[in-house]
C-alpha cells in the first residue's frame, strides 16, 4: 500500500492505494480511513483506491461540504480526475451511504456497486446506533460482534491519534448527526441505481441495524444480499476473508 495526495477542484485529498488490475474505489465509514484487512485481500487481484473524505483526518471541513450529497458529487469529480473507468464502487457505513448517493446521480463510470452495512436509509423497526453519544470504548464494543476485536481496539486507544479521532467525529457529525445517519429522501431515488449491486450486512450490527437492508433490496432492482450471521458492523475487519471472497466472486461475475 502506498499513500499519496492529489488535488481535485482545489481540495487536497489523501489516498491509500494498492494492487493492480480493475479498479475498486473504497469509501470509508465515519471512523476514518485505514488500510483494512479487506482492502489488503482485494488488492491481490484489483487496484484498490481508498480516499480519505474531505474534513476527516488532518483536513478541515470544507465550506462546500454540507450534506452527504455534496460528498457524492465531489467523488464523481474524483473519479473523473483520476480517470477511472468501469470502477467497482464499494462503501462501508457512511461510505456506503455516500456510494448510494453517488449511484443515484451518475453511474456512467461505474461497473458495480457494493454497499457494506450502509447508513442513509433508516429502518422503522430498529433505530441507528447513536455513535455520537458513545465513548470510544462503547463504540468499539458495539462495532464488533466478536468482542476480541473490541478489546484489541480498546487496548490501542491510549496510543491512538486522538486529535484525528476528534476531527473524524466532528466531520461525521457535521454530515450525519441530524437526522441521525439518514437522508429521508434517499429511499425515493434508489430506483435510479441500474447497475449490479451487492448489499453486505452483519446480522448482529448494532450501528446500522440489519433491518435496514430491506429498503435497499426493495428499491434497487436486482440487488443481492450477502448476510453474515454472528457478525457486527466492522465487516472489513471482523470478517475480511468471507467478505473478500464474496466481493471477488461478485466482481468477477459482473466483468
Q: What is the pLDDT of residue 117?
A: 98
Backbone angles phi, psi at 185, to 5 degrees: -85, -20
pTM: 0.97
Q: What is the pLDDT of residue 187?
A: 97
> Domains of the chain, with CATH numbers?
2-254 (3.40.50.1820)
Q: What is the pLDDT of residue 255?
A: 75
pLDDT per residue, tens digit, the chain (255 aa), is 999 999 999 999 999 999 999 999 999 999 999 999 999 999 999 999 999 999 999 999 999 999 999 999 999 999 999 999 999 999 999 999 999 999 999 999 999 999 999 999 999 999 999 999 999 999 999 999 999 999 999 999 999 999 999 999 999 999 999 999 999 999 999 999 999 999 999 999 999 999 999 999 999 999 999 999 999 999 999 999 999 999 999 999 997
Q: What is the pLDDT of residue 182?
A: 97
Q: What is the pLDDT of residue 6?
A: 95
Amino acid at each position: 500500500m502506498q499513500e499519496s495526495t492529489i488535488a481535485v477542484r482545489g481540495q487536497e485529498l489523501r489516498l491509500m492505494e494498492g494492487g493492480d488490475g480493475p479498479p475498486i474505489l473504497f469509501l470509508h465509514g465515519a471512523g476514518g480511513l485505514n488500510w483494512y484487512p479487506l482492502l489488503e485481500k482485494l488488492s491481490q487481484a484489483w487496484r484498490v483506491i481508498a480516499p480519505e473524505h474531505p474534513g476527516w483526518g488532518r483536513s478541515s471541513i470544507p465550506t462546500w461540504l454540507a450534506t452527504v450529497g455534496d460528498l457524492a458529487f465531489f467523488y464523481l469529480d474524483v473519479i473523473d480526475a483520476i480517470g477511472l473507468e468501469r470502477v467497482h464502487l464499494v462503501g462501508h457505513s457512511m461510505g456506503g451511504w455516500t456510494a448510494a448517493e453517488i449511484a443515484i446521480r451518475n453511474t456512467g463510470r461505474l461497473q458495480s456497486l457494493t454497499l457494506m452495512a450502509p447508513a442513509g436509509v433508516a429502518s422503522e423497526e430498529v433505530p441507528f446506533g447513536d455513535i455520537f453519544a458513545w465513548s470510544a470504548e462503547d463504540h468499539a464494543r458495539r462495532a464488533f460482534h466478536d468482542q476480541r476485536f473490541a478489546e484489541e481496539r480498546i487496548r490501542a486507544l491510549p496510543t491512538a491519534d486522538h486529535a484525528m479521532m476528534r476531527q473524524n467525529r466532528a466531520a461525521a457529525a457535521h454530515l450525519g448527526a441530524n437526522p441521525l445517519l439518514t437522508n429521508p429522501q434517499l429511499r425515493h431515488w434508489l430506483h435510479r441505481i441500474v447497475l449490479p449491486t451487492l448489499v453486505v450486512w452483519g446480522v448482529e450490527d448494532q450501528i446500522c441495524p440489519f433491518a435496514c437492508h430491506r429498503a435497499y433490496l426493495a428499491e434497487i432492482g436486482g440487488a443481492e444480499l450477502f448476510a453474515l450471521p454472528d457478525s457486527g458492523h466492522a465487516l472489513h475487519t471482523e470478517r475480511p476473508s468471507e467478505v473478500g471472497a464474496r466481493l471477488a466472486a461478485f466482481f468477477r461475475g459482473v466483468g
